[in-house]
Structure 1
Amino acid sequence: MEDAVRPDREAFKTTYEKAYRTWSNIHDLAITDFNLPRNCLEQLETAFPAHPHFPEDIEIDGFFSNTATVRGRAVWKTTSGSCDTPIFHDEVLFQVASDRPTVVEISNSHPLSIFEQWHGEEGNHITVLILAWAYILSARWAEIIPGASGPEYDSCTTAWADNYLPCSNDTLLPLAMVDVGDVDDDAARWWAAVLAPSGGWSAWIRNAKGQLLFSPWSTKLSTSRRVNLQRGTRPCVRQHQAQSGAASYMAALRYLRDYCDHHGVAHQSYEALAAALFLSLAKFDNRRVQLPIPRVCHQRESMEKPAVSPPLFSGNLPQLDKLLTLSCNVIGIKALLSSVFFEPGVLCNISGAWLQGTFAYLDSEAVREPRTLVRVLMKRDPDLGFLWLGAFLTGGHSRTLQEARQGWWKVDLHVAAWTGTHLSFIQEPVPILPTDVEEISRADECRLLYLSHGQSYDVAPLFPFAPFGLTAIGDTNLEVRQHTRCQFPHALAYEGLSWQSREGKWTGFQKPMVPLSLRPKYGQPGDSLVTVMYDNLDFDDDCSEMMTRSIFTWLREEDGFPVAERDIREHEWIENLVDSDDGDCLITGESRSAAISLLQP
């Protein structure tokens, strides 16, 4: 007898093979795209033009003992015709402060050294640059968030070297030595705070009880090794008078620019910014960030002084603000990372086979080395590539990969719209159906229910994979039947975001300035001659059951299952979600006919 829910073994195996070959194809594309990392990182200057940013009159929505949040309200349109599906609003929270800094540990044998040669630059400056970007993001945050203070320097500073100690290109000093160049006193003081053990600066806001809450990028450096600073071999050139307080974000950007020019490490600065955006996620996960000991090669006096370049983002403040806002949306960042494992067209009851085949390839010898793995994940959706690199640099990738194996990730439609990322079946448009059609796909049924936005369907399905099969239109609810007949297009369309202001009003509406569309992902099943490894194939250990139960709970919990879906309702994966003694749990033939008559003239 055919199973009403579970695919047969041949279908399961076919989907497993499709996933395995798709990721094999992505691997082939990634290893031949030599500019992939650099191109992905340079997108930081232009990424996600539709992403909102905090306005300067924003209101703190909620203060708690361990966090502070701000609130935005998104506007969604559901049709481009004269249909009466509603424009609706929903809210999104951003975490803008927490009760502790992120602890950063420096390790002499950190595996992230494998990324050193990607940028083609000498030395490993990533740790220094991440800590610098943490300060810059916090300084900009303090200018935006009402009531925020800082940054302010603490009494703790790092040590300065007494003498110039040259190092060769491949020598790691027992004590890390960071040459900041011929800088003035203000820049020297800033670097001493940025690299200070236990933290040399702070940016904070107080909650209602007066307790300190720190910026999302506040760090506390924990290391048994001293990070010494060196100022250069020539006398300091004072460019301006010593400042009265800590460096502003613009001054800090200038100091960072000078450091990058001094060492020729502009691309490492991009990597560091991508990583700094993930400090908030580490804090959210209650996780320490491990970084490698800096390996700084000192400039020789005979070397030609590089041309001075403008500081990154100095003329592009709105873009930096967008990245800052994205970093405060840790749930959204998690959703973006997980989106690379979503495949349009894969249904809920066979999604486990897709994920098994995916990770069978990602665990294979061809990809197991981290440098290759991150390239493959970046190539799947290059617009998200800098996020994957930032996740690997800070250790944020491990939990994402672990959760993705089991299909345990959530949908965030806000960040999906802001970034053009396809991460759920619910984002796809509903086709206009012929007037004589008698069935609708359950996926389109779900979409119309969500677009109608009734009380029981005002939250999107939790997981990304679509339900299988068709529903008789006569067995759907009134909203679905109405909109299958209206002959207008239906699709979820993001219109913009308002922010809660200090006056308690929704203001500062930010509308996308560019048309929004769903970005396709890389990867085709590829060469059928690829040898598929079946070691991970397991017909019983399958997350498809969880996905299927979740979407059918969303779809049928309110109105029950129609008679035609009795086999689905009684299947072990569904387990009679609606009480069988409840007389309203099934849509009978009579009630269905009565409902249809309401739509007839």
Structure 2
Amino acid sequence: MDTKAVATILRDNNVLQLEEQQLQDALEQSREYWYQIANLAFHLREAGFSSEFTNPRLALHRIPKLQVRSGRLHVRPYGMTPIRSLCCEASSIWTLSTDQDCGKLKKQMSHLTFVQVGIAAATSFSFIEDAFSSWNGMSGGNVIGPNYLGILALGWCYVLCAQLVKMRGEDSSMQYTQCQAGYSDESLPDPSQVHVIDVGEVDESVARWWSAILAPNEGWKATVKQTPQGEFLAPWSVSRACETHFSIKYQGTLSPDPDPKPLSSERAFKALVEFARLHELQSQFPIALTMALTIPTHKYYRLSAKLPLPRATGFKSITTPVNAEWMNLKEDLPYYMTLSCSPEVMMSTFCGAFWEQDVPCNLVSPWLHPIINEVLGDLPENELEVLAFIGTIRQPRFSAFWIGAIASGLGPEILHRVRGGHPPLDRVAFPWTGCPQSFMDVAGSGPYTCKDPDYILREDVWRLTNYPSTDGDNESYQHGPRVPWAPCGASLTRDCALYVTAHLDCPRHEYEYDHWVWYLPDGTLMQDRGFSEQVTPAVSESRFDNIQLKTRREFKRTQFDQEASREASGQVFLWYFFGGEGLPSESIYQEEWLKEVWENNMSEFGGGEFDDGEVPEPVVKSGEFVDSWLDTVS
């Protein structure tokens, strides 16, 4: 499919609020694209998963290996919750390509960030009949097998907690609590309301571990650090809030020791592998890991995770587990842990699936409306599985994380963050995962000036404004815009600052992610270039072009509003305004969407008087550009 059919829209126009016909034309083209994507997603949902969809390793690109023994630990607010977190300080380092060095830009820039390594309270979760409660795995059709996604995810949470405790050492500890699930040979209050989980032939230490995994409330406690501000737990610590009853069935004898030593990360992983083999849960095992990896993101957004209820009956696959791939999951855990401990990166990447490179800020509403409101808007939460496949089509290398996110109940929050036009955005998300998600992630192409050399696209003005000049006069812009959408239109070069016009004749500049820096306890700096400097081959979006759809769904068309476009436009222009340049003397800044903002802040930030006579006509009139765009997609 050709996303360019929707992408190259009105880049050169100098009008923020478009005419109704222009918006309707853009809306129809967006519908054509998104309806096709949605129908493919519904098809994939029925057809089952192919193996690459369930491989989380495809998402590992430049992600650094977690170093939790940090010399710069901070207790600070983190996310939407008032509860403080334990975070380690780190930095991302970006370098200017040597063949692009004109001497007017700094050769390197650094951005400080925080990685969460401890939480003050466990994340709540419940078992519920919701997305992926039925699992057809790689079989497709109506063949429904056993479903232990939720239970496997809890096992992975324990493995991650134990791994972090092992990596921390020092005052970290792992222990079982008094809460535990019962055993099947014990009397049950109401057997019909109890989920009996067969864990096979295990020794008493593994049986006790399963009792902690399936316990109500918190079955284990992974303490990362004791501080004057309180105790901090591993980020994957969870507490079951529902009243679902579990009973453990196993072959073996109960230990006379009521509180044996908790399993290590290695032994817990082995027990989880044996459980997956026993129930032949090949495709569920890696997806359950990605579900566990979303737990810190749930915490960040004050959400309770929702895990699928277990299903013991049904068809079992005869496929033999691939032990090497499962072992890779354990070996790669420190990389997955860094990603998981960075909820802003996780949510930025999920929301990035709805970003399109050349859709400007003033067309966000007609671009998003068909998929967010018409396709997904009326779906109940238990049918949001299709969102996982939409994400898979748009971001093939992140497919396993998409399935895990929807299976853990994160789908509604992702849609909420996208819908308003101002999704979260994190600078390192693109180099870490290989999934671009902002116009700032790409350098653009061709010369900086337009066909008319008196003009430069605003998105290039924004890029050059963000790049650090050697004289430091644009330091207030170092953090970049907080929305992914490019500003529309073009600016007169005479209205641009010197740190922009100084590069009009330069080849395209670009700062590339170089490495990550961890600050160790002995004061040394550890440089980490990431899991791989080569992008892992992943299924391409183009592979879906060959799928023949036997049926197509019809979606109810609804009226759209301009709120997402208004929010996206306001935010991307606010970044430029609040950086210190004041009000530029261009007509677009006097349009309704922006004028009130400027007037409210004029006295504080300055800016000259506006004169309509000073502003020439735009490079390309919006109507002409719409006509040329429609010609390319007809």
CA distances 1:364-383 after superposition (whole Å, capped 9, x unpaired): 78999433333223222122
The counterpart of 1:251, out of the listed 267, 270, 274, is 267
Does structure 1 conserve the Cα–Cα contact (< 8 Å) formed by 2:183 and 2:247? yes
Matched, 1:261 2:308: no
Choose the corresponding residue for 1:319, options 322, 332, 340. 332
Tell me by how many angstroms 1:147 deviates: 3.9
Q: 1:404 aligns with which of 418, 439, 442?
A: 418
Name the structure 1 match of 2:617: none
Aligned-pair CA distance for 1:571: 1.6
Deviations 1:437-477 (A, max 9, x none): 32210111111111236212101101111111111222211
Distance 1:512 1:452, change over 3 A: farther
Q: How does 1:385-396 map to 2 (within 5 A)?
A: 385-396=399-410
1:373 pairs, out of 387, 390, 394, with: 387
Aligned pairs (5 A) from 1:72-87: 72-79=90-97, 80-84=99-103, 85-86=105-106, 87=108
Q: Return the letter of the residue paired with 1:9.
A: E
Measured after TM superposition, the shift of residue 404 of structure 1 is: 1.3
Structure 1 position 467 matched with structure 2 position 483: no
Aligned match of 2:477: 457
How does 1:190-589 map onto structure 2 within 5 Å? 190-209=209-228, 211-232=230-251, 245-297=261-313, 310=323, 313-315=326-328, 317-363=330-376, 369-433=383-447, 437-452=453-468, 454-485=474-505, 487-511=506-530, 513-515=532-534, 535-539=557-561, 541-557=562-578, 558-563=580-585, 565=586, 567-575=587-595, 577=598, 584-585=607-608
RMSD over aligned CA atoms reads 3.8
Equivalent residue, structure 2, for 1:595: none
Query: 1:537 corresponds to which letter in structure 2?
Result: Q
Between 32-41 and 15-24, report the one with greater CA deviation.
32-41
Residue among 14, 17, 27 paired with 1:16 = 27
Of all paired residues, the percent bearing the same amino acid is 21
Change (3 A) 1:270 1:544: same
1:561 to 1:112, Cα distance in 2 relative to 1, 3 A: closer
Q: 2 CA distance for matches of 1:13 and 1:136?
A: 51
Partners of 2:310 and 2:133 lie apart in 1 by 14
Pick closer, same or farther for the CA change 1:297–1:521 going to 2, 3 Å: closer
Find out whether 1:188 has 2:207 as its counterpart.
yes
Q: What does residue 60 of structure 2 align with?
A: 48
Q: Say if 2:344 and 2:425, in contact at 8 Å, map to a contact too.
A: no
Offset at 1:501? Answer: 1.1
8 Å CA contact retained: 1:495, 1:511:
no
Which position in structure 2 is the counterpart of 1:5? 16
- Whether the 8 Å contact between 1:60 and 1:68 is mirrored in structure 2 is no
Matched letter for residue 555 of structure 1? Y
Unpaired runs of 5+ residues, structure 1, are 166-171, 592-601
Q: Judge which range, 319-328 or 155-164, deviates more.
A: 155-164
Amino acid corresponding to residue 363 of structure 1 in structure 2: L
- Whole-angstrom distance in 2 between the partners of 1:463 and 1:418: 19
Counterpart position of 1:92: 113
Q: Deviations over 1:83-129 (max 9, x none)?
A: 2322100012111111111222234xx12354422355732212221
Q: Does structure 2 retain, via aligned residues, the 8 Å contact 1:439–1:470?
A: yes
Q: Where in structure 2 are there 5+ consecutive unaligned residues?
A: 1-12, 77-82, 615-634
Contact 2:286 2:326 in 1 (8 A): no
Q: Secondary structure of 1:271's match?
A: helix
- What is the aligned partner in structure 1 of residue 621 from structure 2? none
Corresponding residue for residue 594 of structure 1: none
What is the alpha-carbon distance in structure 2 between the residues aligned to residue 83 and residue 278 of structure 1?
43
SS in 1 for 2:512: strand
Structure 2 CA distance, aligned partners of 1:131 and 1:434? 52
SS at match of 2:332: helix
Q: Find out whether 1:67 has 2:85 as its counterpart.
A: yes
- What residue number does 2:632 align with? none
Cα distance between partner residues in 1 of 2:288 and 2:359: 36
User: What secondary structure sits across from 1:294 in the alignment?
Assistant: coil
1:130-176 deviation line (CA, Å, top 9, x unaligned)? 111110010111122354523212233221112899xxxxxx95311
**Partners of 2:131 and 2:409 within 8 A in 1:** no
Q: In 1, Cα distance between the equivalents of 2:408 and 2:553?
A: 34
Report the Cα offset of residue 512 of structure 1: 6.3
Which of 149, 156, 181 matches 2:172?
A: 149
Displacement of 1:537 in angstroms is 2.6
User: Per the alignment, do residues 176 and 345 of structure 1 end up closer, same or farther by CA in structure 2, a change over 3 Å counting?
Assistant: same
**What's the offset of the Cα at 1:207?**
4.1
SS at match of 2:201: coil
User: 127, 130, 135: which one pairs with 1:106?
Assistant: 127
**How far apart, in 2, do the equivalents of 1:464 and 1:113 lie?**
30
**What SS does structure 1 have at the residue aligned with 2:504?**
helix
Distance 1:304 1:78 in 2: 51
Q: Mean Cα displacement is larger for which, 549-558 or 576-585?
A: 576-585
Point out the more displaced range, 365-374 or 215-224: 365-374
The residue identity in structure 1 corresponding to 2:17 is R
* 3-state DSSP of counterpart to 1:231: strand
Q: What is aligned with 2:631?
A: none
Cross-structure match for 1:168: none
CA distance in 2, matches of 1:412, 1:317: 27
CA distance in 2, matches of 1:3, 1:431: 20
Report the CA distance between 1:532 and its aligned residue: 8.7
SS at match of 1:554: helix
Q: Is the 8 A contact 1:70 1:93 kept in 2?
A: yes
2:456 counterpart letter in structure 1: I
Instruction: Count residues with an aligned counterpart.
Output: 568
CA 1:550–1:216 in 2, change beyond 3 Å: closer, same or farther? same
Tell me the amino acid that sits aligned with residue 467 of structure 1.
P
Cα distance in 2 between the residues matched to 1:308 and 1:78 = 45
- Residues 200-251 of structure 1 deviation map (CA, whole Å, 9 limit, x = unaligned): 211013342162211111112234343110113xx5799xx99972111111
Which letter maps to 2:307? L
What's the secondary structure of 1:66's corresponding residue? strand
- Does the 8 A contact of 2:517 with 2:525 survive in 1? yes
Partner residue of 1:37?
A: 49
Task: Within 5 Å, give how 1:113-192 maps onto structure 2.
Answer: 114-120=133-139, 122-145=145-168, 147=170, 149-162=172-185, 173-192=192-211
Secondary structure in structure 2 of the residue aligned to 1:356: helix
Q: Distance in 2 between matches of 1:434 and 1:406?
A: 31
Between the aligned partners of 2:49 and 2:174, the Cα distance in structure 1 is: 32
Aligned in 2, Cα 1:499/1:270: closer, same or farther, shift over 3 Å? Answer: same
Structure 1 partner of 2:39: 28
Q: CA distance change for structure 1 residues 516 and 449 in 2, over 3 Å: closer, same or farther?
A: farther
* Aligned mates of 2:278, 2:513 — CA distance in 1: 44
Structure 2 CA distance for aligned equivalents of residues 135 and 559 of structure 1: 51
Using structure 1 for the length normalisation, give the TM-score. Answer: 0.84
CA contact (8 A) 2:14 2:489 kept: no
Q: Provide the TM-score with structure 2 as the length reference.
A: 0.80
